[in-house]
Structure 1
């Protein structure tokens, strides 16, 4: 049984939204449609092509956003304002009135009720091992790795997959908790790691 699911860049679907385009990297359950809002969590990357845009309202959804390229000012009405540069992140809620200023490429994590998660940037020079300790409060967990640029080998025990720019790897509920990431390029690889408990 394979522990690592790989979605290649060319298999991902991109759609238009009011401010640009968005590419869905992973949604769970996997047969769920974003439009129905019944997902437990959704991971995507969007290009913001307008200097000013208004975020779609998403009631009951907790959101995390990280900048992959460019600079973005977020204004959450009656909450907070923040300026994000490359690999900076912000957390907010989908029922807030949110406006953004700046043209960027971003990374998004949407968490529905009874889920929690983190996103982090990994600047991989050589290799690292991630010891996945699950949160006892939740029954299930998933690790999702998105390759921003570069080339890496991801492995659990004897299972190994090669990932390149734009590829995604998903590992769920594996009892083999040590995930190894090894740089396979001549320069540092940049990866966004998402850990979700649900």
Structure 2
């Protein structure tokens, strides 16, 4: 029980986020800068791939700024995590759904018997727990967003 989305704003005006009661949101900027407000709790400025804001989807929240944001929304009965991969590494698939969104550039996933390439805007989903592989990020400033959801 989760959702992944990409949304854009072409205006500096503040706009509300949808109310997602019983969900935890993981928010990151893919492009631009956003000032995110959480109605009296705190506010935060998010730049591209800089920070991940994790907050209750039921909060009254809004954002201002010209940006493209990336959201992972996970039901509270599940657990989630999100991070950025921008260097070559080895990854081991853990329990749950392991997802890799290519936000910028391209990357190659090298398994024992095959290679899978992903380009900007593409999502790779893996569920084979215990599988291990290399991730080679291109030299062009590639950015992958790794997400894992376990229910």
Shared fold per TM-score greater than 0.5: yes
1:29-65: CA deviation from partner (whole Å, max 9, x where unpaired): xxxxxxxxxxx01111111223210111111111110
Cα distance between partner residues in 2 of 1:50 and 1:181: 36
Match among 57, 60, 85 for residue 97 of structure 1: 60
1:160-175 aligned at under 5 Å gives the runs 160-172=115-127, 174-175=128-129
Cα distance between partner residues in 2 of 1:99 and 1:175: 37
Gaps of 5+ in 2: none
Question: What SS class does the counterpart of residue 86 from structure 2 fall into?
Answer: strand
The residue number in structure 1 matching 2:7 is 46
Match among 104, 107, 120 for residue 152 of structure 1: 107
1:114 aligned onto 2:114: no
The residue number in structure 1 matching 2:146 is 193
Higher relative contact order (CA 8 A, sep 6+): 2
1:179 aligned onto 2:145: no
Cα distance between partner residues in 2 of 1:70 and 1:45: 13
Contact persistence 1:156–1:176 (CA under 8 A): no
Contact persistence 1:75–1:98 (CA under 8 A): yes
The alignment of Structure 1 onto Structure 2 pairs a total of residues equal to 149
Contact persistence 1:62–1:92 (CA under 8 A): yes
After TM superposition, give the deviation of residue 133 of structure 1 in Å: 4.1
Q: 1:101 to 1:175 in 2, by over 3 A?
A: closer
- Computed over aligned residues only, the root mean square deviation of the Cα atoms, in angstroms, reads 1.6
1:69 aligned onto 2:62: no
After TM superposition, give the deviation of residue 186 of structure 1 in Å: 4.5
TM score, norm. by length of structure 1: 0.70
Instruction: List structure 1 segments (4+ residues) > 4 angstroms apart after TM superposition.
Output: none
Q: 1:56 to 1:186 in 2, by over 3 A?
A: closer
TM score, norm. by length of structure 2: 0.89
The residue number in structure 1 matching 2:97 is 142
